[in-house]
Copies of this chain bind each other. A is one copy, B any other.
Amino acid sequence: MRYRQRREALPGMPNSKKTPTIQDVARFAKVSTATVSRALSRPERVSEHTRARISEAVRLTGYTLNQAARSLRQKSTRTILVALPDIGNTFFSAILDAIERAAALRGYGVLVVNRLAGDDSGRRLHEYFLSNRADGLLLLDGSLTLEQMLVLTSEPANVPLVMACETLPGAPFHTVRTDNTYAAELATRHLIGLGHRRIGHIRGPTCNVLTLERETGFRAALRASGLPLRPEWLFAGGFEMAHGLAAAEQFVALAEQPGAVFCANDETAIGFMSGLRRHGLECPRDVSVVGFDDLAVAAHIWPPLTTMRQPREALGRLAAEALIELIEGKPGGRMPQHSVLSAELIVRGSTAPAPLMVAPSAAAQ
C-alpha cells in the first residue's frame, strides 16, 4: 500500500526531548496556567480568542501527546475504544475488521461507540476514560470539536488519541487518512476522460472535512480542464441514500442536466441512481455516475458502480498500530505523525463515454 508519512516540525521546540507541560502551553499562549486548565476542562468559560490561542499553543508544544501523565492512570485495560460516525455505513466495517485484527495481534480488544453527534457525547467519552474503560481512543468520527478532544487528551483523562478518516486539519494528534482531495480529482478526471463536459457533484454533509476535500478535488479537476461548474450542478447532499434520492429530484427538474455526476460517497450514488430510475433516466445511458468508498455492495448493484476504493485495510491497521504505540509510550508516539493513503479508481458499469450528440452543446457553453 502506497502512503507517505511526515512529521510536523514544532516551531520553538525542534526535536525537543523534554516532555511539554501545562506551563509550556501557558508560556506559549501568554496566559496563566489556571487559564489553560480552565480552557481545557471548561472551554465555554473562556473567550473564543483565548481558546484559539491556547489551542494553537497546545498544538505547538505537543502537550496533548504527553505520555508522562498517563502513568498516573489506574491500570491497563488492554482495550481500544473506536468511535465510528455511523455503523450503518458499511465503509466502516472493513476498517473495523482491520483494527480488530491489528489490535488482537497486540493483545488488545476493541469496543465501539457509534455516532458522537449530540451535546453530551464528549462528556460521555470523557467519563469512559475517567472510569478506565479503555486505554486509548481511535476517533473515526470528525464531529468532536478540537476543544472536546483537548479535554480528552489533557489532565485528568490523558487519553491517547489517534484520528482516522475524518481528521481535523492541523489537530495535534496522529492522523491516518485517505488523500480525499486527490482521489476526488481522479474520479472527476475519469469522467472528463470519457468525454463528459457537463459534470455535477453531490456533496457530503455540511461541516464535514471529507465534504470539503472531495469538493475541492472535484473543482480542481474541472478547473484544470477549463470546464464550467454551474451552481445548480452542485447538489446539497449527505452521506446517505436518502440524500442521493433527493438530489435526483433536483436533477430531473433542471433545464440543462449534467451528463455525469461525481457523488461524495457510494451510498449517495446508490440513492441517486435509484432516484433517476424513478424518472425513467438510466445510468450510464443518460447519466454517468461515480461514487466514493467502494462498499461491498457497489460491485453487486446494477449497473455496478464506478468508484474510488479507499484503502480500508491499511487505514484501520495503521491507525490501530499508531494508537497502540501511543498507549504503550513508544518513542515514535510522541510527535504527531500524519499518514496519507491513496485511493484507487475502480471502473465499472455506471460510467460510459459521453454521447456524441452532447459535444456541440458542450462546445457552445
Contact = CB atoms under 8 A, between A and B. Distances in A.
Given A112-B114, A124-B109, A88 B296 contact: yes
A218 interface: no
A73 interface: no
Contacts of A273: 300
Interface string A297-309: 1011110100000
Given A109-B124, A111-B111, A302-B277, A297 B297 contact: yes
20 contacts: A77-B133, A81-B111, A87-B92, A87-B93, A88-B93, A88-B97, A89-B90, A109-B124, A110-B113, A110-B114, A111-B113, A111-B128, A111-B133, A112-B113, A270-B301, A274-B300, A274-B304, A297-B301, A300-B301, A301-B302
Nearest to A118: B104
Contacts of A86: 93
Given A77-B131, A301-B301, 15 more contacts: A87-B93, A87-B112, A88-B90, A88-B93, A90-B90, A100-B115, A111-B112, A111-B113, A112-B112, A112-B114, A133-B133, A270-B297, A274-B301, A297-B297, A297-B301
A92 B114 CA distance: 12
Indicate how many identical chains form the complex: 2
A271 interface: yes
A132 B296 CA distance: 36
A96 interface: yes
Interface of A: 77, 79, 81, 86-90, 92-94, 96-97, 100, 109-115, 124, 128, 131-133, 241, 245, 270-271, 273-274, 277, 296-297, 299-302, 304
A111 B124 CA distance: 11
B241 A300 contact: yes
A25 B302 CA distance: 57
